[in-house]
Amino acid sequence: MAKIVNSWNDWDPLKHVIIGSCTGCCIPPSEEPSEMKIPEDSDMRGMPYGPRSQESVDKGNAQLDAFQALLEKRGIKVDRPTPINFYQEIGTPDWKNACMFGCMPPRDVLLTVGNEILEATMSYRSRWFEYLCYRPLLQSYFDNDPEMRWEAAPKPRLTDKSYNKGYLYDGITMEERLKRVADLFFVTTEYEPLFDAADMMRMGKDIFCQHGLTTNRKAMDWLRRHFPNHRIHSLNFPGDAYPIHIDATFVPLREGLIINNPNRTLPKGMEQIFVENDWEIVPAAQPAHKTPPPLCYSSVWLSMNCLVLDPKTVCVEASEVNQLEQMDKLGMEALPVPFRDAYPFGGGLHCSTADVYREGTCKDYFPKQVGKTLVISYKL
Ligand code: DAV
């Protein structure tokens, strides 16, 4: 039987990937952590929950299908999840929620590390059951690849103990938001491990995790124990008032090269491990757009949320002219992919995919373990 699952980083040659789907996606009811993510001036603020319009779903799906066709033309195998009925009340013995979110960004849910695919805990109630959409795929990988490790992180209780009540209050200023991020005080507590897979940047033997609204330190400690042959690091980016998911902030393009959101740079002491190991950190190009598309959770920095196909080739959103130009300057062939109609469903080209197979093995890109990033224990 063939090997199906293998991926150690975000840049080795991609052979097999999952692309999400907009079918049935909903705007979920407001919850403490999702409210935090929505900027004051966003048209998402105060939106009633319920299914997204069929027109927007069709437009999003058309772009996802075209992206699939582009990858398949290049010999990359593409799988798709099986959407469930997201517009139904869900619950556990601890809570109820009026509906779910969707299954557009598989990157948030699935963390591939070598021959393992790990289902993340997630940190919103609306996304608690999202793993079900990927189960048909995971089960078939498990059935057909005898080495595939299928794992799920402990499902979180997500009771009120997991959230800092009143963290977001009316009239909170931008200054206060930024201070809280700098102080590592987030809406999620340290009560239980919580993480979205998109907060992880996989770099061979090292996994760098963004500490923010969706991932806490206890999750990093859980990952440290779960992956004993890896080194788990914590990164934070104090310039980001809404820190969720590392992939519009700090994005590796190939061995030795990372683009970093210029508004969200690493604090002192955290850049050292990259510098000492000869990694170049380049400020990412400015987004081409002043605002995200309507009803979008993410910022304009989805411009840098690109999918690397191999160390010389990268997919970039087609209207992101500055980012396309920068890729060229950095020696990458950039393939333009129209994708703004899919953004509102949860993200860009990186978010909307999850690795199944990339060539390559687990390498040590950071032999010099220096600076202040290594997670020893979750305590601050
Ligand atoms: O800048 O809004 C989006 C990341 C989505 N996975 C941002 C982060």
Kindly list the strands in the beta sheet with 77-79, ordered across the sheet, starting from the edge strand earlier in the chain: 77-79, 14-19, 353-358
The answer to whether 271 and 370 are in contact (CB under 8 A) is no
- Read off the pLDDT band of 41 (50, 70, 90): confident
Mapped onto helix, strand or coil, the DSSP state of residue 229 is coil
The answer to whether 304 and 258 are in contact (CB under 8 A) is no
Helix or strand holding residue 27 (H, E): strand 26-27
Ligand 1, atom 3: nearest CA belongs to which residue? 298
Determine which one of 196, 199, 206, 221 is catalytic.
196
pLDDT at 33: 75
pTM over 0.95: yes
Rounded distance from Cα 236 to ligand 1 centre (Å) = 14
When pLDDT is averaged across residues 147-169 and rounded to a whole number, the result is 94
Torsion over CA: 243, 246, 247, 252 (sign): positive
Whether the CB of 248 sits within 6 Å of ligand 1: yes
The answer to whether 159 and 32 are in contact (CB under 8 A) is no
Task: Spell out the CATH class of 14-358.
Answer: alpha beta
Residue 146: CA count within 13 A, CB half-sphere = 2
Please state, rounded to an integer, the average pLDDT across all residues of the chain.
95
Whether the CB of 298 sits within 6 Å of ligand 1: yes
Q: Is the pLDDT of residue 376 over 90?
A: no
Contacts of 93 (CB under 8 A, 6+ apart): none
pLDDT digit string (tens) for 294-344? 999 999 999 999 999 999 999 999 999 999 999 999 999 999 999 999 999
For residue 377, give both structure tokens.
């224990």
Q: Which residue has the higher pLDDT, 2 or 319?
A: 319
Q: Is the pLDDT of residue 242 over 80?
A: yes
- Read off the pLDDT band of 143 (50, 70, 90): very high
pLDDT at 34: 79
pLDDT at 377: 66
Q: Is the pLDDT of residue 40 over 80?
A: no
pLDDT at 379: 56
Residue 68 identity (one-letter amino acid):
Q
Residue 196 among the catalytic residues:
yes
pLDDT at 166: 84
Residue of 213, 250, 298 with the most ligand 1 atoms within 8 Å of its CB, for mutation = 298
CA distance 117 to 150: 5
pLDDT digit string (tens) for 338-365? 999 999 999 999 999 999 999 999 999 9
Mapped onto helix, strand or coil, the DSSP state of residue 272 is helix
When pLDDT is averaged across residues 152-158 and rounded to a whole number, the result is 98
Tally Cβ neighbours within 10 Å of residue 104: 29
CA distance 263 to 325: 19
Residue 245 among the catalytic residues:
yes
